[in-house]
């Protein structure tokens, strides 16, 4: 006689238990076969392919490489007075002839970092400022579909920037990170 737990587990046609990104699936046919042979049931491990970007329209072939996008970043003013807050923009455009999808693992869409430039022109490896530092972002898979030539931009402000020359690096965080060419500013 089967116990209530066995009936609950073996009664449905498919039993699935999700553990992290893996799913174990046991069908009632496997369970019945294992009961008849008095052996352990067969369990099929299904690992979903999470490495592929999400597609909003499955019938449309979408480029997923970073090369489908052009990213540009710039300062609103290349030289600012101490006390002024440098402002930056970053723009991303789909330069392919097909719809393209941006996929990120959080609500963060972009970032900027400032690296001090020394007297001899050497750029420090550790950033002096990072726009996202101290911020919190929603943790979720976020996708945005861009039509051919579609573009959008974001703005950031560096409050209380110390005097000096800086190399600024802009980044779109989707698709593993797409960097813009760095540019320089000066805070006098």
Q: What is the pLDDT of residues 132-144, one digit of tens each?
A: 999 999 999 989 9
Domain 66-187 in CATH 2.60.40.2360? The answer is yes
User: Can you name the residues that pair with 154 across neighbouring β-strands?
Assistant: 90
Q: What tokens does 14 get?
A: 């498919």
Under-50 pLDDT residues of the chain:
1-28, 30, 43, 45-63
Quote the pTM value: 0.65
> In this predicted structure, what is the pLDDT of residue 78?
96
Contact call for residues 29 and 15 (beta carbons, < 8 A): no
> In this predicted structure, what is the pLDDT of residue 40?
56
H helices of 89-157, in order, are: none
Q: Is 104 exposed, middle or buried (0-12, 13-18, 19+ CB in 10 A)?
A: buried
Domain ranges of the chain: 11-46, 66-187
């Amino acid at each position: 006689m089967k116990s209530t737990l066995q009936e609950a587990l073996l009664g449905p046609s498919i039993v699935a238990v999700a553990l992290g990104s893996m799913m174990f699936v046991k069908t009632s046919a496997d369970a019945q076969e294992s009961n008849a042979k008095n052996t352990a049931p067969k369990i099929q491990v299904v690992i979903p392919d999470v490495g592929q970007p999400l597609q909003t329209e499955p019938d449309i072939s979408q480029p997923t490489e970073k090369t489908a996008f052009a990213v540009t970043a710039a300062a609103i003013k290349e030289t600012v007075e101490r006390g002024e807050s440098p402002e930056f923009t970053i723009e991303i455009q789909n330069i392919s002839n097909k719809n393209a999808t941006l996929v990120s693992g959080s609500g963060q869409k972009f970032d900027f970092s400032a690296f001090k430039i020394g007297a001899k022109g050497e750029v420090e490896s550790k950033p002096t400022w990072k726009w996202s530092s101290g911020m919190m972002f929603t943790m979720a898979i976020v996708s945005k579909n861009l039509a051919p030539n579609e573009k959008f931009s974001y703005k950031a402000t560096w409050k209380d920037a110390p005097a000096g020359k800086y190399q600024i690096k802009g980044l779109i965080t989707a698709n593993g990170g797409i960097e813009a060419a760095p540019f320089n500013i000066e805070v006098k």
